[in-house]
Structure 1
């Protein structure tokens, strides 16, 4: 009896110690409102299904305000859609690390710029920044133009043939661009890229990584095997690794007569050239090169395909804006068919800029991003967020906040980005590529490639859809997804 009493007493003391060690989290509930949730579960039961997450976040924010605190099981958790708090988070050196939800990315794509923790992230970012410099991006324009010309050829059989799902075609197109600009122009000749095998493998990994992010138990290889999700996922990872390894080996074994000092400075900074140079000098390991190559391709192809498709979709739903964009593009390119778009041309596409910005406001490429505090973080309102808090920055709802964007915040209107309308907005009210210390390294790349693609497509085709804007239903994912994807009809312009 005495032994049992001692054990109970010990457990009680341990429980008190556990509560005391987390006292700062509990005190935070007095300063930041939020749903209490249930014991052990917290608010996790509201977030079990991906299609419910954005709606649940919206309900919490409507009820408790733009910054809330709660629990995901035992994990202290915040949701933020206040631009000032977002700025505090994104500019703090104590909130650079991504949230634990991205653990799956390390397994699926590798530990690279997307999910790597500081200070390693800062080192890699500094070393890889030259691969996304202005002159390097300009050198990609021939690839953007050439691949978009091939895309136009692929679209010809779909002209005036009813509504079609263009996303697979656009994903194949953007993957081709991403691999060429990352790995070199000759990668297009690789058999698995031409046969779309590579696209299938990347899609398999993306799907499994997403499942792992939102169903944490799937991070266990044993559980993935039990539920039948491991074999295809493992095969896809293996084949992509082999593909990337082959390209790296090819680069390393190139004719040594073309020594690095003889290579033009722009070519030196092409991603694979830069990464293999770091490998030769012992700065990067082989795994670093593989992981970063993988991450860059992952980050480029799906988000760019979605941005282009969602913009075309919105213009099909709002044809008046599509016609205004067409008129601007027609003044630059009077004739249909193929034409080369220069960087100077993209700078003259003022209305297309408004459209692309508004498209990424209404449908941000990534709806929610996650950070965690590595040290205490003091917000500008004086509240201190303790070390160890997981923070979800809800870009989707911030971009649609009526307090920020007015009563029509949830509809599509490119005029939102006219100078007199955007001038007084908080600098962190619009963050399609995040912002601050850990902003997206490829944001300029994404904008230039999207503008070249949209200019050629909108000059050659009028896009239509029978799907109403009001019926769009968005699903939380690593990137923004739709529950039902609207089909588009292509009508040839003259």
Structure 2
């Protein structure tokens, strides 16, 4: 994992020390946000030296777009992902590029994210949201938005992944699997953070010993679920677990073994629920702070869903919430919940910055910086403005400059799942409730595997939707955005969502 780049030098923050390097200027609880602050004035590529580990960071949009070229570059595993492998193994998110199980799992799971598959998940998403709203209707004070969004997305992903209900909205205490999973995940993160420090190996052993029972519980529970499903071939197999258990590769006939299936489930649970809950939380934060934007959101949901606050969006209606999609896009621009990814070259190459990069070298693409590059996003790059994703404002924007779901063939396979769920939940929530925020609250972001607002609460009051437009009216919704298929080439392997190709929000289609 040592990343020396052949001794090449890069700009770095002031105050570097002989042994600790740049570690003393970092916030150990919020390393990404402190890196974002320290990056000011360092240019599009810089380095941080944390004891004996060099982190080369790309903050410029042009250089990030260069690293997105799949013919020259590929995914690399940062120290954080290497540490996560001890928990999630060779899942889609943590596998090395040359591990054959990654390609097998990717091919087998693609059908799980087609339009027909998404249609089957839609009622499961609605049911989980209904349970949340039952809890909110009974609330007597403000609700903890991030905590509740995390419960919601955990229930959705567990029910669609392996048909398991953790009872997040019915139990007095969390299902034991959830704290065990969180503890095991945090242990891996701590080991990744300590990796470059003196004495890291000794500290890692202590962490492993303290958390071994958590990891064993998670592994054993999932293994029992997998074993029980193998023993019941007549059980409905339309969830992700069923696909992995019973679907051979269409060309080779290969199947995933049970250990790798466990790793894939863990990957979906860990990466899938936190990213979506964070996206929802940031969207609600920005909407609740801006009465004009909130009024536009209410107008859109009332136009599409009509005057009954209990009505639920149909599958076909979800893509019509184009303003809500722009709100999500803009929240993910400012605070991409998966905030960085690493890239390495396939062979020795020279970057446009003049630096020579070898296959053993890797660079971190710092998305909150790339998404604020003024050469792409203008002088208002730090401001929340969903209309920057209108078609007329997106047209001509350079490709590969908006990457909240990663890039290339290793980008997030579940991005359409996440967007469908997030839009559905936002639409139902805004149709049902008036939101009130605490004006004294200042956005504070906690850094786990993902970014998430912390301490963010909202007051809720049942609202009476406007009796304006009818839900069934043709073209109901934002008339400024015609519904059409994104012209991005179907052969493109960039893994971009529609807006990164300059397409209107919400116009991306599911794979057939």
TM-score by length of 2: 0.80
Residue 479 (str. 1) matches residue 450 (str. 2): yes
1:81-480 alignment runs, 5 A limit = 81-92=59-70, 94-120=73-99, 121-158=102-139, 161-184=140-163, 187-188=164-165, 196-197=174-175, 198-216=177-195, 223=203, 226=206, 230-231=209-210, 233-255=211-233, 270-277=239-246, 283-373=255-345, 375-380=347-352, 383-467=355-439, 471-480=442-451
Contact 1:47 1:56 in 2 (8 A): yes
Deviation, 1:200, is 2.3
CA shift, 1:287, in A, is 1.0
Task: Identify the range of structure 1 (455-464 vs 214-223) with the bigger mean alpha-carbon deviation.
Answer: 214-223
Q: Who is 1:488 aligned against?
A: 458
Mapped to 2, the partners of 1:387 and 1:226 lie a distance apart of 33
> Match of 1:366, SS?
coil
Which secondary structure does the structure 2 equivalent of 1:95 belong to?
strand
How far the C-alpha of 1:353 sits from its partner, in A, is: 1.3
What RMSD, in angstroms, separates the aligned Cα atoms of the two structures? 3.0
Query: Secondary structure of the equivalent of 2:364?
Result: strand
SS at match of 1:392: strand
Question: Counterpart of 1:251 in 2: which secondary structure?
Answer: helix
Structure 2 counterpart of 1:10: none
SS of match in other structure, 1:140 = helix
C-alpha distance in structure 2 between counterparts of 1:297 and 1:226, whole Å? 26
CA distance in 2, matches of 1:221, 1:108: 17
- Per the TM alignment, residue 226 of structure 1 is displaced from its structure 2 partner at its CA by 4.3
Quote the Cα distance in structure 1 between the aligned partners of 2:459 and 2:42.
42
- Matched residue, 1:51: 30
CA contact (8 A) 1:77 1:389 kept: no
- Note if contact 1:46-1:52 (Cα within 8 Å) is conserved in structure 2: no
State the shift of 1:374 in Å.
6.0
The alpha carbon displacement at 1:325 in A equals 0.6
Q: In 2, distance between residues paired with 1:217 and 1:234? A: 22
Count of matched residue positions in the alignment of Structure 1 and Structure 2:
452
Is the Cα contact below 8 Å between 1:105 and 1:111 reproduced in 2? Answer: no
Which has the larger share of helix?
1
Inter-partner Cα distance in structure 2 for 1:169 and 1:50: 23
Distance 2:410 2:126 in 1: 30
**TM-score, L = length of structure 1:** 0.83
What residue in structure 1 maps to residue 494 of structure 2?
none
5+ long unaligned stretches in structure 1: 1-20
* Structure 1 residues 129 and 468: alpha-carbon distance in aligned structure 2, compared to 1, 3 A threshold: farther
Match of 2:489 in 1: none
Please report how far the alpha carbon of residue 191 of structure 1 lies from its aligned counterpart in structure 2 after TM superposition: 10
CA drift of 1:450 comes to 0.5
Change (3 A) 1:221 1:180: farther
Counterpart of 2:45?
Answer: 67
Alpha-carbon distance change, 203 to 217 in structure 1, aligned in 2, over 3 angstroms: same
- Counterpart Cα distance in 2 of 1:373 and 1:77: 16
Distance 1:41 1:124, change over 3 A: farther
CA gap 1:353/1:253 in 2 versus in 1, 3 angstroms:
same
Greater Cα offset, 237-246 or 170-179: 237-246
**Deviation (angstroms), 1:210:** 2.6
Q: Deviations over 1:408-428 (max 9, x none)?
A: 222211111112222232222
